[in-house]
Amino acid sequence: MTQLSEQEIIRREKLQELHNLGIDPYPAAEYPVNDTSVNIKTNYSEATKEQFQDVCLAGRIMSIRDMGKAAFAVIQDKAGRIQVYIRRDDICPGEDKTGYDTVFKKLVDIGDFIGIKGYAFITKTGETSIHATSVTMLAKALRPLPVVKSVEGQVFDEVTDPEFKYRQRYVDLVINPEVKEVFVKRTRIMQTIRDFYNNLGYLEVETPILQPIPGGATARPFVTHHNALDMPLYMRIANELYLKRLIVGGFEGVYEFAKDFRNEGMDRTHNPEFTVMEMYAAYKDYEWMMHTTETLLEKIAITLHGTTAVPVGDKVIDFKAPFRRVTMFEAIQEHTGFDISAMDEAQLRDVCKQLNIHVDPKFGKGKLIDEIFGEKCEGHYIQPTFITDYPVEMSPLTKKHRSKPGLVERFELMANGKEIANAYSELNDPLDQRARFEEQVQLMERGDDEAMYIDYDFLRALEYGMPPTSGIGIGIDRLTMLMTNQPSIQDVLFFPQMKQEKQ
């Protein structure tokens, strides 16, 4: 059993004293909250004070200032913080002062949840506060919160240890209010995307997370076992192939916010469990998708910031449409000096050697080009830029380019040196798709454990006919990092993956 600290022992003793006094420290009854701290602080005035004569708030105690027969406390609710004035004779109007002298002064701690009934007023120092007429214990905290001091808006002793912040996010959210704002903005980003696609008439759908074939991307999957069916299943690495089955089935526009899982490395822009939004639209192509995507991101920036100019670190990234467009071969030639457009696998390996890029012998032509772009080009694209027209070897699910042999109609959106979206004119020729899958199998046989499996049911679906379609995947975690100026993907995930905690 974990050894308790002195503070934890004292709080458990206080818990027992509350029980001894007949006070339930964890009452079950509804507490009738009718207002919030921010609404009161924003809207209370002499002209409106009649509206705030019977307020009921609940929240966590963040500070207490004892003044003998009265005290000031600060409570934090869902909206913010507000000061509360608690006077002994107001909450204990009779002769029995136990509720104040014993319960509030001795048994209530910072971190406890309390309910406050009373009325709003303005103190002599001009601070809008609540004058309490009753105080109710709602939940006793048995662990003390880390002490974070704030003076005139300046924060002292802020908890910044990543191990603590990510593992105990529930405490991080309490003591660092700006963290909560990041996640509020994340939800606003997702809601803006939903509204945008709903207004186009597209349908939000759900597809399987456990899949018999880990299709739709080239990545190493997590594997599990279904006992009732006695068969292996994979955590999805992408939802693409299921969404395209819905286009076959007659939906002309579908999208999904999906949790995907890739059993790969972790760094500041990668987490093994991540959120992606994928959308597919019939009778569209990647040119239409570029225009639609830049319009969407411009809208998200304005929704969050009131402008298209978004601060990211020491830079300002402008999401004003239209975005720059650069082909992949142009990008590689610009940043390496090599024109690789007509090179075979051996020549590409020689280029990698000259550029000091270590590549695995198992890599095929597509992977080699991807390594060159990732190592030497990607980081240069700070402002939003569409990298277009990828080699066919890199894109087994993408339609061949209508006018450029050897290429496909694909783009990736780069911003702040990282990919945040990937889109195609979708391959809808079932014979071509079968051949591409078979090429992936050959890569798998060479030892590429990220090569794509053949999904025979998806091929069968294509054989029934899929209309011309464009699709896109947008990484919600990376997009949130950009839009909220966060340096690490762990800062935009409530509970990022971590090593198991040592007890």
- Beta carbons of 302 and 318 less than 8 angstroms apart: no
- Does residue 393 register a pLDDT over 90? no
Q: Quick check: 154 pLDDT over 90? A: no
- Average pLDDT estimate for 47-71: 97
**For range 323-339, the mean pLDDT:** 97
Cβ-Cβ contacts under 8 Å for 305 (sequence gap 6 or more): 483
Q: Which pLDDT score is estimated for 158?
A: 62
The answer to the question of whether 419 is labelled as a binding residue is yes
For the stretch 188-202, pLDDT in tens is 999 999 999 999 999
Fill in the DSSP letter of residue 250.
Answer: T
Measured CA to CA in angstroms, residue 25 lies from 99, 108, 133, 316 at distances of 13, 10, 19, 50
Position 46 confidence tier, pLDDT thresholds 50, 70, 90: very high
Confidence at residue 219, expressed as pLDDT on a 0 to 100 scale: 86
Residue 31 has pLDDT above 70, yes or no: yes
pLDDT at 151: 54
Task: Work out the average pLDDT over 102-120.
Answer: 98
pLDDT, mean of residues 356-363: 91
Q: Are the C-beta atoms of 324 and 383 separated by less than 8 Å?
A: yes
Structure tokens, 345 = 């696998």
pLDDT reported for residue 446: 81
pLDDT digits (tens, 9 = 90+) for 178-188: 999 999 999 99
Helices (H), 93-176: 98, 162-167, 169-175
Give yes or no for residue 385 having a pLDDT over 80. Answer: yes
pLDDT at 150: 58
pLDDT of the residue at 452: 82
Question: Does residue 442 have a pLDDT over 90?
Answer: no
- Higher-pLDDT residue of 59 and 447 is 59
Beta strands in 67-127 (DSSP E): 70-76, 81-87, 113-122
* Half-sphere exposure for 109 (CA within 13 Å, toward CB): 21
Looking at residue 401, what DSSP letter applies?
P
Place of tokens 């240890």: 161
pLDDT for residue 394:
87
Mean pLDDT of 15-42: 98
For residue 32, cis peptide bond before it (omega within 30 degrees of 0):
no
Q: Tell me: pLDDT of 449 over 90.
A: no
pLDDT higher than 60, residue 155: no
pLDDT bin (cut points 50, 70, 90) of residue 152 is low
Distance between CA atoms of residues 189 and 474, nearest Å: 12
- Transcribe 342-389 into DSSP letters: T--HHHHHHHHHHTT----TT--HHHHHHHHHHHHTGGG--S-EEEEE
Q: In whole angstroms, what is the distance from residue 319 CA to residue 317 CA?
A: 6
pTM: 0.91
Q: Is the pLDDT of residue 63 over 60?
A: yes
Kindly tell me if the per-residue pLDDT of 69 is higher than 70.
yes
